[in-house]
Amino acid sequence: MPQPLSGSRQKRRRQSLEQRASTLLSLDDVSSAHGTIAARRVLTALRALLTEPDPHTSHARQLQREAINMSTAKAYTGALPMYRSTHRVCPAKPLTAHVRSRVLRSNLCVWQARVKLRLLYQSYRIKCVKVMLGILLLLYPMVSRNFLLVFHCDQIGARYWLVKDRSLECYTTEWSLYACVALAGVGVWVVGVPFLFWRTVYKARHRHIDTRLALLESRAYRPLREKWLAEMRTMLAAEGRCVPLALGRRDEMSYLGHYMKTKNLEDSAVMARLGLIYQNYKSEFWWFDVFDLIRKVLLNGVLVFLQGNDIVQSTSGLALCLLALTLTLQCKPYRSWTDSLVAGVTQFQLFITLFLGFLLLMNTTSTTALTPVAAIVDVDTISLMLVATNLASVVVAAGVLLHDTVHNRRRMQKVRAVRRAELIQAAVRKLWRRAYNHAVVIAYANRPAPLSVALLLQRARRLPPSEN
């Protein structure tokens, strides 16, 4: 059994093998037969050397090698060159001031470019999300109606035919293919889009709320909790609501949770990305746009499935419109009173339109019955009322739009006037300060007492450039 080498001999042998390995790596004919044989000899010598105890290797490292039963040479042969576990400290030269300034300038330019790239990427993502939400809001009622009308069939004789396309018979193989696609569309589009809107805003509203409340409950964050409570009281006072001064811990956490949810939705990044869904509503009615989508799909697509009696469809539509109108007028979910006015007028106009249609339906039913009676109302009168209500809603919307435009212009003029007054006041204060300093300098210059440092500096500033 060969005896292990001493520390100095092992070190010299390792250095010679490393030199031979570096020489072989620097040659151009390493891939030749001679280079391959020489490289194998060096690797064999290194393997034999690594099997011997290495004085520079720690005991933990040796145990690790024995535990995994793998040497460094076997693990990294053909992948990376092998070096010693310890090496000399690399020489480092201190950078000169010129090189240091150039490195700092270069790093600063790279950092600015990366920050600008991240901001541009974030702005691009926000614009993409806004465009996607706008497209979904615009196409949702029409596409939902088309998906639902695939299941609207009418019985003619002994067969059922699709109402939208009378050439397609229902409950056949061809109709089943369309029905499968429409069923998937109902799940993904009709149900998925409102759920997507609700889930997205809900996650943004409840983001990090539980973590913050858990931190604020501890004694270490009591000053921060008092600060949050003061901000919450200020916000509620601005909204016209009052909070008792003495609150229990549970009530404090409840109020703080509500305040944090409101602040999450008022965040600039969240507002820029998802503000199209909830920015026109009050904070507690962030879900009202989802309710509006459901109302639209119920009026456009679901009511057509109430077959057998047109009066039932009309009555259901009237009830749904009346419910939406009552909820809008009672809750007043919009931030601006003009938005509430336009929403109420449009809901009322839709209710009147359905009611007039119901009267026309009753008129047609009474005239086509087996025992005809006199018509309930005149058709021309109903037509005039329909035109009048639609024109009235358009006029109200145009008037509100004009009012908002004039109001915003006046508000901007007031803001500019206040800003101009503040600039004038700042300029007057600056001139007055300069005049006061000038008067103080003249008053102290005539006194025999020694001049102070501040007075000397003021006189130096007053000297012309030629004398300086």
In this predicted model, what pLDDT tens digit does every residue of 376-410 receive, in sequence order?
Answer: 567 778 888 888 888 888 888 888 888 888 888 89
57 burial class (0-12, 13-18, 19+ CB within 10 angstroms)? middle
Do 256 and 196 fall within a single domain? yes
One-letter amino acid at 280 equals N
Bigger pLDDT: 368 vs 178: 178
The β-bridge partners of 156 are: 159
Does a structural domain hold residue 26? yes
Tell me what the mean pLDDT of segment 278-304 comes to: 88
Q: Is 148 found in the same domain as 59?
A: no
Q: Are residues 57 and 135 in the same domain?
A: no
In which band, very low, low, confident or very high, does the pLDDT at 76 lie, cut at 50, 70 and 90?
very low
Residues 143 and 63 both lie in one domain: no
pLDDT at 196 over 90: yes
pLDDT at 464: 61
Biggest alpha carbon–alpha carbon distance for the chain: 126
135 and 221 inside one domain: yes
Tokens at residue 183, please?
Answer: 């069923």
Res 115 pLDDT > 50: yes
Judge whether 168 and 159 are in contact, CB under 8 Å. no
More confident residue, 40 or 198: 198
DSSP H or E stretch at residue 160: strand 159-162
Q: What is the pLDDT of residue 191?
A: 92
The per-residue pLDDT for 39 is 60
Q: What residues form DSSP beta bridges with 162?
A: 153
Question: For residue 447, what are its two tokens?
Answer: 């006194």
What phi and psi values does residue 109 have, to the nearest 5 degrees? -65, -40
130-151, pLDDT tens digit by residue? 999 999 999 998 999 899 888 8
Provide the H-helix boundaries in 150-267: 173-185, 192-205, 209-216, 222-238, 249-265
Please indicate, yes or no, if residue 437 is contained in any of the structural domains: no
Q: What average pLDDT score do residues 300-318 get?
A: 77
- Which of the residue ranges 118-127, 173-182, 336-345, 411-420 would you say has the lowest mean pLDDT? 336-345
Let me know if residue 203 belongs to a domain: yes
The number of angstroms, rounded, from the C-alpha of 350 to the middle of its chain's C-alpha atoms is: 35
Structural domain including 182 reads 125-305
In the beta sheet, which residues pair with residue 334?
281
Same domain, 63 and 144: no
Indicate if 282 and 181 belong to the same structural domain.
yes
Quick one: pLDDT at residue 454? 66
The number of domains in the chain is 2
Distance separating alpha carbons of residues 147 and 185, to the nearest angstrom: 6
Asked whether residue 62 falls in the same domain as residue 166, the answer is no
The residue out of 272, 305, 338 marking a domain boundary is 305
Q: What is the pLDDT of residue 309?
A: 67
Q: What is the pLDDT of residues 215-258, one digit of tens each?
A: 888 888 888 888 888 888 888 777 777 767 667 777 778 888 88
How would residue 111 be classed by pLDDT, with cut points 50, 70 and 90?
very high
CA distance 265 to 363: 51
3-class SS at 240?
A: coil
Looking at the domain assignment, is residue 363 inside a domain? Answer: no
Cα distance between residue 292 and residue 350, in whole Å:
14
Both 180 and 290 in a single domain? yes
Averaged pLDDT for residues 258-279:
88
Asked if residue 55 belongs to a domain, the reply is: yes
Residue 255 and residue 196 share a domain: yes
**Is residue 134 located within the same domain as residue 43?**
no
Q: Identity (one letter) of the amino acid at 78?
A: G
Please tell me the least confidently modeled range out of 180-184, 357-361, 408-412.
357-361
| Co-location of 137 and 278 in the same domain | yes
- Whether residue 238 is contained in a domain is answered as yes
Give the H or E element holding residue 433: helix 379-445
Q: With a cut of 70, say whether residue 77 has pLDDT above it.
A: no
CA nearest 397: which of 355, 317, 338? 338
- Domain assignment present for 462: no
Cβ(289)–Cβ(134) below 8 Å: no
Q: Is residue 279 part of a domain?
A: yes
Residue 346 to residue 334: CA distance in whole angstroms: 14
